[in-house]
Amino acid sequence: MLAIVGEPIPVTVDECRGQYNSLMRPLRYLYVLALVLWLGGMAVAGFVVAPTTFSVLEGWDASTGRVLAGQVFGAVLRRVHLIGYAAAVVMFLTLTVQRMLGPRPKHYGIRVGLLAVMLGLMLYSGVILSPRIDQIQSQVTGPMNQLPATDEKRLEFDGLHQLSTILVTATMAGGLVLLAWEARE
């Protein structure tokens, strides 16, 4: 044991195992905090920021407001993706450290697998879809919904937007499963 200001600090694996609960609490807290920030960020972005931004800016000016709202929400979504990437890393690390220090977290493999799927969905949405959506929007003057319904750019934009929504919704569903799992323990 190493002692700093009279407080013993475990330095070996055996000493750490002896203080299992004191080490696991902060790890579980970090895991839950990362999950809640990721899940909460997606929920606030989708259920509050997007509808409010579009409503307010379209109310101000139907044509320009919709384009501005898309740009604002795109910037918000980029930050939500970054939060998701960081949260996934923190969650993976905390689960893995818990596994190394003490008994393996229940269903470790399933949880890490679900976490990997969630991260993969967010990466695809943020790295592949979002830049393509931005690129298409930059090629159009005005709101996408003012183009004819058969316009190639509008069809691709609508399809990518729908896929992005599905991926974020699936990621949120995975987050809710992990949150329920954590609540049971």
In 3D, which of 133, 157, 134, 162 has the Cα closest to residue 147? 157
**pLDDT for the residue 182:** 86
**pLDDT for the residue 162:** 96
Q: Provide φ and ψ at 2, rounded to 5°.
A: -105, 140
**pLDDT for the residue 3:** 47
Q: For residue 11, what are the contacts with CB-CB under 8 A and spacing of at least 6?
A: 1, 2
**pLDDT for the residue 2:** 46
Alpha-helical runs (H) found in the chain: 13-18, 20-44, 50-60, 62-101, 108-123, 130-138, 152-184
Q: Which two tokens stand for residue 88?
A: 């996934």
**pLDDT for the residue 115:** 97
pLDDT in tens, the chain (185 residues): 444 555 655 556 555 555 556 778 888 899 999 999 999 999 999 999 999 999 999 999 887 898 899 999 999 999 999 999 999 999 999 999 988 887 777 888 999 999 999 999 999 999 999 999 999 999 988 888 888 999 999 999 999 999 999 999 999 999 999 999 888 87
Q: For residue 139, what are the contacts with CB-CB under 8 A and spacing of at least 6?
A: 153
**pLDDT for the residue 105:** 75
